[in-house]
Amino acid sequence: MTAIIHPDASVDRIGQTTPRVARRGRGLSDRGIAWLFVTPTIALLLAINIFPLIWMIRLSFTSLNLSMSYLPLRFVGLDNYADILSDEDLWVRLQTTAQFVISTVVLEMLIGFGLALLINRQFRSHSFWTTIILLPMMLSPAVVGNFWTLLFQPQIGPFNYVISLFTGIPPSSFSMTGEVALAPWTIVLVDTWMWAPYVMLICLAGLRSIPDYIYEAAEVDRASSWRQFWSITLPMALPFLMLAVLFRAIENFKMFDMVNLLTSGGPGSTTELVSITLKRAAFEKWRTGYSSALAIILFVTVFGAANIYVKALNRVKQR
């Protein structure tokens, strides 16, 4: 009995209630250690994330253009924000981005959840094949975008050739990355290839978290497997599915690397996601003030949407 109480009591005495005096001679106090350990991380984030962010907020009220940085810094108030919100092109980019996010999330959820249901059957050698399936998501998105341009080459690439084997359409008659009608689907296709395994992994964890006895009880009640899926599997895996949606949606809203290399926003601007617009404004046109304002609008959007979503997720979890 004492053996159990003793260490707890001693830790309480050392940890929370006694001031420095009692601990002198045994090195730093716990509070000292806590701050010493947390401070470097917070300091680094303040220097590399927060300070630049605040600087960017300030710049977003200026007309700074780095290609004309000899001009004096001029404050323009909310002009940049007004410009952005009334810019019709930008709304089109946001629509393109929304379409990309929604199509990829839907496809990745369907394929990922489907694969998870299959893998959960625990057939022989399933863990080997799972690892194979997981490989694409571990690769560098930029490198992926780059090598898919080879696969999609109309004549020399294998993709069109395989399509023509199945459909009879001549392989050189269409270009996955060069056609207005196809390019938006091309980026969706490559993103799904890369990230469906990610959704699969999260869904698999969800399926494995459902205890067997629930299915056993359903079996006793003679519930059909269709019924079991809708009233046990899906609701119990739902928090996991929602988490997958959250992570994928945030990531794809930020999407830059893979699409930049695969289509670089083209043809025209059919695949120009908002991150690519931002890169062009900031690092090609050098409109720093304008692009700072755009960056802040994007950040507030992601942050706000993620917060609302996490609240919904917590409600589902508690149910």
Partner 1 sequence: MTAAANTTAHSIVEASPRVKTVAGALVIIYAVVAILPLLWIAVTAFKSQSDAIAYPPKVIFQPTLEGYVNLFTVRTRQTPDFIAGLPPATTWYDKLVRKHDMVIAGPSKVVPRFINSLVIGFGSTFLAVLLGTLAAYAFSRFRIPLADDLLFFILSTRMMPPVAVAIPIYLMYRQLNLTDTWTGMILLYTAVNVSLAVWLLKGFIDEIPREYEEAALVDGYTRLQALRKVVLPQAVTGIAATAIFCLIFSWNEYAFAVLLTSGDAQTMPPFIPFIIGEGGQDWPAVAAATTLFVIPIVLFTILLRKHLLRGITFGAVRK
Q: Which two tokens stand for residue 285?
A: 């046109």
Q: Which is nearer to partner 1, 183 or 243 (CB)?
A: 243
- Residue of 78, 118, 180, 312 that binds partner 1 (CB under 8 A): 118
Q: Which is nearer to partner 1, 153 or 270 (CB)?
A: 153
Please say whether the beta carbons of 196 and 118 come within 8 A. no
Q: Which two tokens stand for residue 299?
A: 């950040």
Binding of partner 1 at residue 236 (CB under 8 A)?
no
- Residue of 67, 110, 299, 314 that binds partner 1 (CB under 8 A): 299
* Smallest separation, CB 147 to partner 1 (Å): 5
Residues 187-206 as x/- pattern, contact with partner 1 by CB under 8 A:
------x---xx--xx--x-
**What distance in Å separates the CA atoms of residue 62 and residue 73, rounded to the nearest whole number?**
7
Please say whether the beta carbons of 304 and 241 come within 8 A. no
- Residue of 19, 212, 221, 268 that binds partner 1 (CB under 8 A): 212
**What distance in Å separates the CA atoms of residue 271 and residue 186, rounded to the nearest whole number?**
9
Q: Which two tokens stand for residue 112?
A: 């990922």
13-72 residues near partner 1, rule: CB under 8 A:
14-16, 26-28, 30-31, 33-38, 40-42, 44-45, 47-49, 51-53, 55-56, 59
* Smallest separation, CB 270 to partner 1 (Å): 19
Q: Collapsing DSSP states into helix, strand and coil, what is residue 34?
A: helix
- Residue of 68, 134, 180, 316 that binds partner 1 (CB under 8 A): 134
Q: Which is nearer to partner 1, 14 or 236 (CB)?
A: 14
How many chain residues interact with partner 1 (CB under 8 A)?
106
Encode 215-251: b = buried (16+ Cβ within 10 Å), e = exposed: eeebeeeebeeeebeeebbeeebebbbbbbbbbbbeb
What sign does the CA torsion over 208, 209, 211, 217 have? negative
Q: Which is nearer to partner 1, 183 or 290 (CB)?
A: 290
